[in-house]
Structure 1
Amino acid sequence: MAAELEQTEQAVYSSASSARTIPNDDPAYAIDEESKKTEAEDGEKDVAVEKVESAPVFDVGEFPDGGLRAWLVVLGCAAGTCATFGLVNAWGVFQAYYTTTILKGTSPSTIAWIGSIQYALVFIPGLVVGRIFDMGYVKLPLGLASALLVTATFLTAECKEYWQFLLCQGIAIGLACGTIFGILMGAPAHWFKRKLGRAFGVMALGSSIAGTVHPIIVKNLIQSVGFPWTLRVLGFIEIVLLAIQFATVERRLPPKAHTGPFLDFSVFKNVSFTLYTTSAFTAFLGLYTVLTYIDVNAVSIGINEDLAFYLLSIANACSAVGRIAGGLLADRAGPLNIMTPATLVAGVMTYVWPFANSVGGNIAVAIVYGASSGVFVSLLSTPIVRMGRMEDVGVRVGMCFTVMALSAVAGPPISGAINDATGGFKFTGIYAGSTVMAAVVFLMMTRMSLLGGLWGRC
C-alpha cells in the first residue's frame, strides 16, 4: 500500500480552480513531507490517502515537457494552424480581387461579409469542439474537418456567384478551420506543463508564417496563373500541411467520465476565468485594427501601394519573433507577467499608428506592433489551461474563444465605421488603442484575482 500511495501522491498536481493560484510546478503540496516520512504507520497512511482523494487534480501522470513525441505534436499543431489561417489571413487579397473582377458591381461591404463570416467561424465553434476534445475525440474531427477544408478550397476555385463564395469560402472553410483550430488548442496542454508557453509559441508560428507568406503567394499566383489555379495550389499546400497534422496530433491522457451537461457554463463561476475572458473580448475589439488597416492607411497618406502591401507581412513576420520570445519568457516568469506589458506596448503602438506619416514610421509601427501583439496571441490559451482541471481544458479554451470571436468579428467593422464617419484613421486608432488598454486593466485584475495581490509568478 505504501508503494501505491507514493505513486498516487506523485501523480497529483495542484489546481487553480479552487486555490485561486496558478498551479505549482512541483507535485501536489497537499501531501506534506512529514506524512511521507511516517506513512509506514497505518494511521498516517489513512490520513494521507484521504488527502490524496480530496486534493484538486490538475493532471494525472508526469508531463513529458519535451522529447520527440511531444514536439511532433507541437509541429503538427503548427502545420494545422498554418493551413487554417493561411486562407483566413489572405482574405484582404481576395477582397481586393473580388471587388475589381469576379464580383465587380457588388458593394465592398457585402463582399466583406465573406471574410467576416469565415473569420468568426474560426473561433465560434470552439465551445462545442472543445467539449468534443474533452470527450476524447481527436482524429475523427480532424479528419472530417480537413477533408471539408480541402474540398471547399477546390470548390472556391469554381465559384462564380456571390452566394457560392459565401457558402464555400465563408461558411465551409470557416467551419472547417474552426473545428481544426478548436482541437489543436487543447493538444499541447496534454504534453507540456513547465514548457507550455514555448510549446504554444512554436505552435503559433504556424499562423504567423501563414500571415506572412500566404498573402504574398495569393497575390503573385493570381497575377501569374489566374484565380482558379491559385486556389488549387493552395489546396495542394493544405493537403501536405493537414497530413502532417493528422499524423502527429493526439491526446496523451484518456478522457475522464463526464456526467454533467454537454456544455458546462459553470466555468464562469471562476472569477479569474471570467476576468480573463473579458480581457480577451475587450482586446479583440481593437487588437486587429492595425493589422486590418495598416496598408490602407499607408496608401491614403501617399505611400506606394506595392510597399504598403508588404507592411502586413512585415508585421506578421515580427509577430513570429514575439510568439517565440513570449513563450520562452512565459515559462520563466509566468504567462500573465509577460502578456500584460506586451499588450500595453501593443496598445501604445495602436495610438501611435495613425500619426506615423512616413515610410520609416509605418515600418517601425509594423515591427513593434507585430512583435508585441504576437506575444498576446501566442500565449492566449496558456493562462486558461492553468485555471482548472485538465479534463475540462477544451471547454475552458472553447468558451473563451467563442466569446472572443464576437469581438474579433465586430472590431474591424467598428473601426471601419469610425474611419468612414471621420474621414481618417486618427479616431480609429484612439478607439482601438483604448480597447487594448482596457484589456490590460482586465489582465491586471486577473493577476490580482489569482495571486491575491500585485506581485508573484503568474
Structure 2
Amino acid sequence: MAAPATEPIELSHIASNVSSSHVPPSTPTTLAESERGPLERASANLLPPQGAKRFEALDSYPDGGAEAWLQVLGCSACLSVCVGGKGIMQDALSDLGPVTSWIGSIQAASTAALAIPCNRLVAAYGPRKIALIGTFITSAGPLLGSFCSKSFGGLMVTEGLLFGVGQSLIFFPAATLPSLYFLKRRNLATGCTYAGGGIGGAGFSLLSSVLIKRVGIPWTLRVTALVYFAITFPASYFIKARLPRKPLRGGGPAIDWSLFRDPRFVFLFCGGVFALCPLFGQFNSAALGRTISVGRAAHAPKEIDFYPSRIAVPPFFLPLYASALGMSSLSGSLLLAGFNLASAAGRIGFGLGADRYLGSLNSHILCLFVFGVTTFIIWPLATTLTPLVIFAIVNGAVNGGFFSLMPGSVASLFGTATFSVTFGMILSSWAPGYSMGAPIAGYILEAAGGAKAGYGAFRPAIFYSGALAMLSCAMLTIARILESRDLKKRV
C-alpha cells in the first residue's frame, strides 16, 4: 500500500548511485529546478557529469539569523589577518636587500599553492580545527621572526614560509564557509567576509608604521603576532561546520579531474590565471612616502628595478604615477586610500547587487569589463587629480568585487556539493598571478624608462594591465554563454 509513496525516493536513490561520485542526491540548485518534481530531478541526475548541474550540498540554508551572520563576522575577522597581514613588514625590512621582496611573494603565493591540500584537511578535520592550527602557525611566524629580523634566511622561514602556511590554513575555511550558510544572499555574505581583508590591510599597515617608529622592528613583529592571535583565535573557535567530515584517505579525490572536461570550468580557471596578474597588489602604507620620494628624485632611479616584486597594478602604481605628474605625497596617499576603501565597499556592494539583480557570474564579468575599460581609457589620459580620483574609486570597487564574487560564481556554476574541491582548484590558478603579475609590470615600467621618465612611461604597464583584464573578461563571458545563452538570466 505504501509502495507508490516511496517510489520517488527510491528513484532518487537509484539516480544518485548511477551518477558521478561528485553529484549528491538531487537537491535543487535554482528556482527553476526547485519547481520540478522529484521524478524530473532524478532523471536529470542520469545525465553525464559534463552536462549535469552540480547540486547544492545541503537541503536548506539559514540565509540569515544570528548564527549565520556570526560565521560571517568570524570569517571576516580571520581574513583581516590572513589577507590584511600580508607584506606589511616588507618595506621596513628592505635594508636586507632586494631579496626581501620574496618574503611577501611567498606569503601571497602560498594561499593559491596550498589551496588543494588545505581543502582536503578542512574536509577531514573540519574548518574550526584547521583554522585554529593556522592561528598558532600564523602568530608564530612574526613572533619567531622578531628574533632574526636582520637575517634574510630566518625571515624567509618565519615571516615568509611559516606565516604563509598559517594564513593559508585560516584563509580556506574562512573564504568558503559563508557559502554553506547562505543561498539567496550568498554574494552579500562573501562580500562582507572578504571586506575584512581590506579593513585588516589598512589597520595593520597603520599599526606597523606607528610601531616601527616607536619601538623598532623586533617589537613590532612581536606586537603584531599577539594582535594576530587575539583576532584569529576567538574568530576561529566559533567557526561551525555544516558538512559532515570525510576521511583523509578514501574521502574522495582532492582534485576532480573531470572538471577539466567541462569547458565552463576551463574558461573560469584560465580567466583566474590572467585576471590575477593585473588585479593583485601588495600595499604597505608605511613605505608610501619613501617610494614616492624615490620616484620623484632624478638621481635615484633604482626604485623600480630594485624592488620589482613590490610593484602591483594598479594599487602600487597610483602613488608613483601621481608622483610622476608632480603631485605631492599626500595626494598619492589619498589616491591609494580611496582605492582601498572603494575596494572594501565594492566587495559588499557587488555582492548585494549580484544577489538582487545580476547574479554572481554576470557581476564578475561586469567587474572585469569595467576594470579593463577604466584602465584603458581613464588612467592613461588622467593628468590631473580629479580623473585620478575617479579612476581610483571606480577601479578599486571593481577590483574588490572580483575577489569577493569568485566563491559565488563557482557555486553558481557548479553548486556547493563539491564546492571546496572546485573552489580550491580555481584558487590554485591564481598562483601565477600572485607570483609573476607584479614583477612583470615592474619590468615593463623599467623598460619604458622607469618612474623618472614621467607619466608616459607608465602607459605600457597600464595597457598590459588592461589587456589581461579584458582577456580574463572574455574567458568568463564564454563560460557564461556556455552556461546559458539567455543573456537576461541571472547566473
TM-score of the pair, normalised by structure 2: 0.80
- CA deviation vs aligned residue, 1:240-273 (integer Å, no higher than 9, x gap): 2202321222221214675544433222222111
Any idea what the Cα deviations from partners look like across 1:391-419, whole Å, max 9, x if unmatched? 42111111111111212221111000100
In the alignment, does 2:368 pair up with 1:343? yes
* Cα distance per residue 1:201-252 (max 9 Å; x no partner): 1101111112332222222221233222222222222122202321222221
Asked if the contact 1:354–1:426 (Cα under 8 Å) also holds between the matched residues in 2, the reply is yes
Cα deviation digits, residues 335-392 of structure 1 (max 9, x gap): 1222222221111222333443333333322211111211111101111123335342
Counterpart-to-counterpart distance in 1, 2:362 and 2:253: 34
Equivalence for 2:210:
220
Residue of 421, 444, 450 corresponding to 1:395 = 421
Q: Which amino acid aligns with 2:362?
A: N
Going from structure 1 to structure 2, the CA distance change for 1:360 and 1:151 (only over 3 Å counts) comes to same
**Matched residues in 2 for 1:111 and 1:301: separation?**
29
Out of 126, 131, 155, the residue aligned to residue 137 of structure 1 is 126
Q: For 2:262, give the aligned amino acid.
A: N
Q: Which of residues 332, 352, 376 in structure 1 aligns to 2:402? A: 376
2:302 match = none
Q: Is the 8 A contact 1:83 1:210 kept in 2?
A: yes
Displacement of 1:137 in angstroms is 2.4
Q: 1:133 to 1:440 in 2, by over 3 A?
A: same
Does residue 365 of structure 1 match 2:391? yes
AA aligned to 2:354 is A
* Alignment equivalent of 1:275, drawn from 267, 291, 312: 267
Change (3 A) 1:151 1:376: same
TM superposition shift of 1:10? 12
Residue pair 1:318, 1:371 contacting (<8 A) in 2 also? yes
Aligned residues between the structures? 431
Query: 1:302 is aligned with what amino acid?
Result: G
CA distance in 2, matches of 1:269, 1:133: 26
Distance 1:256 1:84 in 2: 25
Deviation at 1:50, TM superposition (A): 6.1
User: 2:328 is aligned with what amino acid?
Assistant: N
* Cα distance in 2 for residues equivalent to 1:9 and 1:163: 61
- Of the three residues 208, 211, 231, the one matched with 2:198 is 208
Alpha-carbon separation, structure 1, partners of 2:42 and 2:11: 11
Structure 2: how far apart are the matches of 1:141 and 1:278?
A: 29
Q: For 1:323, what is the secondary structure of its paired residue? A: helix
The separation in 2 between residues aligned to 1:49 and 1:168, in whole angstroms, is 52
Does structure 2 retain, via aligned residues, the 8 Å contact 1:275–1:442? yes
Query: CA separation of 1:5/1:409 partners in 2, compared to 1, >3 Å: closer, same or farther?
Result: farther
CA-CA distance at 1:28 after TM superposition: 3.7
Contact 1:131–1:263 (CA under 8 A) maintained in structure 2: no
Which residue of structure 1 lines up, in the alignment, with residue 82 of structure 2?
Answer: 84
Shift of the 364–446 alpha-carbon distance from structure 1 to 2, 3 Å rule, reads same
SS class of match (1:390): coil
**Corresponding residue number in structure 2 for 1:94:** 89
Q: What secondary structure does 2:279 align onto?
A: coil
2:382 to 356, 370, 375: 356
Sequence identity (%):
26
SS of corresponding position for 2:440: helix
Matched, 1:456 2:489: yes
Match among 21, 24, 34 for residue 30 of structure 2: 24
Provide the secondary structure at the position in 2 that maps to 1:311. Answer: helix
Secondary structure, counterpart of 1:357 in structure 2: coil
CA distance in 1, matches of 2:40, 2:345: 47
Moved over 4 A (4+): 1-13, 15-18, 47-56, 256-260
User: Is residue 433 of structure 1 aligned with residue 466 of structure 2?
Assistant: yes
> CA, structure 1 residues 145+50, in 2 after alignment: closer, same or farther (shift >3 Å)?
closer
Contact 1:256 1:391 in 2 (8 A): no
2:431 alignment partner AA: A
> 1:201/1:166 Cα in 2 relative to 1: closer, same or farther (>3 Å)?
same
Paired position in structure 1 for 2:100: 111
Q: Deviations over 1:32-81 (max 9, x none)?
A: 6xxxxxxxxxxxxxx68965985964233211111111111111110010
* Structure 2 Cα separation of the partners of residues 3 and 149 of structure 1: 54
Letter in 1 for 2:346: G
- Rounded Cα–Cα distance in structure 2 between residues aligned with 1:173 and 1:222: 19
Q: CA deviation at 1:6?
A: 8.4
- Counterpart in the other structure of 1:42: none
SS in 2 for 1:276: helix
User: Structure 1, residues 100-119: CA drift from partner, whole Å, max 9, x if none?
Assistant: x4x2xx2x3x2211111111
Aligned-partner Cα distance in 2 for 1:320–1:259: 37
- For 1:334, the equivalent position in structure 2 comes to 359
Name stretches of at least 5 consecutive residues in structure 2 with no aligned partner.
Answer: 48-53, 281-312, 450-456
Q: Answer whether contact 1:124 1:405 (CA < 8 A) is retained.
A: yes
Name which of 155, 158, 172 aligns with 1:165. Answer: 155
Aligned position for 1:75: 73
Q: Secondary structure at the match of 1:387?
A: helix
Question: 1:10-41 CA deviation, whole Å, 9 max, x = no partner?
Answer: 9999x9989xxx93136645526xxxxxxxxx
- Of the candidates 57, 60, 70, which is equivalent to residue 59 of structure 1? 57
Secondary structure, aligned partner of 2:487: coil
Report which stretch shifted further, 119-128 or 133-142.
Answer: 133-142
Larger deviation, residues 206-215 vs 69-78: 206-215
- 1:140 is matched by which residue type in structure 2? K
Question: Displacement, 1:300?
Answer: 3.1
Q: Secondary structure at the match of 1:147?
A: helix
**2-structure distance, mates of 1:182, 1:48:** 35
- AA matched with 2:101: A
Cα–Cα, structure 1 residues 138 and 259, in superposed 2: closer, same or farther, change >3 Å?
Answer: closer
1:446 matches 2:479: yes
1:192 equivalenced with 2:217 (yes/no): no
Deviation at 1:315, TM superposition (A): 0.9
Deviations along 1:130-173, one digit per CA (max 9) or x if unpaired, are 23333452222212111010111212222211111111111111
Residue 130 of structure 1 contacts residue 182 of structure 1 at CA under 8 Å; is this kept in 2? yes
CA distance in 1, matches of 2:251, 2:157: 37
- Structure 1: which 5+ runs fail to align? 33-46
Counterpart residue type for residue 31 of structure 1: G
